[in-house]
Amino acid sequence: MDFIDVAIVGGGPAGLTAANTLARQRHTAVVFDSKSYRNAGAAHMHMILTWDHKSPEEYRSEARKNILANYTTIQFADVAVTNINKKSDSHFEVSDANGKTWSARKIILAVGSATTYPDVEGYDRLWKKRIFHCLFCHGYEDRDAPSSGVLAVPPVNGAIAAHMAQNAAQLTREVTPELGPIVNTLTRSKFHIETREIKRLVGNDHTNSVIVEFIDGSNKEEKFLVHNPQTSPQGPFVGQLGLATTALGDIQAEGPFSQTTVPGVFAVGDYSTPYKVIPSAITSGCNAGVMASAEIQAAKYTQPSTP
């Protein structure tokens, strides 16, 4: 039976970094890339030196080329993984959508999160365009705009909404927490608390902004809205492997090496944290690669103890 050292499920920044890390110790790995990315459609990425304000798609492409140009132990399989069967802590059977079964010593899950939009008409069309989940990732390019808004609807609660509003206040002259009775700790001179019920959200292509329409027939224009929608782990692997999850629905993974509650399985990137940004994904991919390597090498080079 031919083993690969690590099966990496997911070809985003976390999975690519894990592959690059493992290659440095001559480990074999296959990166399974279904081409499904949570930031698909996003025009720019930020907080990555030399890649700031560049395309995430271009980043993934160039990272893959760089790995293949410099290392010979990494393979890429552009196919989804449909099943992972754990045989032991150092033997996993990985089945892909083409019907092929692979044997791996360790698993790194980097498949990202699925997004569930709130029940607000127009939200889905504006997500990633004028609705931002993180104002370190987005928003700076709209600095000094007259007004922005925070969508204070579940799963965003009062404390998180207040934090988002404070971030937005650094970028725009006024911030409106929409549906904001739950936000009661903000300085009134900078923030306008909106309590009217929202009917729908409409993009204004001419001004590159959002029109918030209320059920009373009035409306308000915001340069952008801030909100974190509900997320859940992509793929069937939580049930297949018996992975524990957090109260927020992410995979429970122990830092700093992203080890899950199932020995031999690591969860990285958006899969295992509410802080879903590329720098965090890169860090977790590197750390998981280091620990997967350590476990493989310990089994390979440590002499069994004698009674």
- The pTM of this model reads 0.93
Q: What is the pLDDT of residue 119?
A: 95
Give CA–CA dist 131/237, Å, rounded: 29
CB 148 within 8 A of CB 167: no
Beta strands in 152-222 (DSSP E): 172-178, 198-204, 209-214, 219-222
Give CA–CA dist 259/81, Å, rounded: 20
Q: What is the pLDDT of residue 158?
A: 80
Per-residue pLDDT in tens (0 to 9) along the chain, 307 residues: 699 999 999 999 999 999 999 999 999 999 999 998 888 878 899 999 999 999 999 999 999 999 999 999 999 999 999 999 999 999 999 999 999 999 999 999 999 999 999 999 999 999 999 999 999 999 999 999 999 999 988 999 888 888 999 999 999 999 988 765 545 566 666 888 888 999 999 999 999 999 999 999 999 999 999 999 999 999 999 999 999 999 988 999 999 999 999 999 999 999 999 989 999 999 999 999 999 999 999 999 997 776 6
Question: Whose structure tokens read 């990166």?
Answer: 31
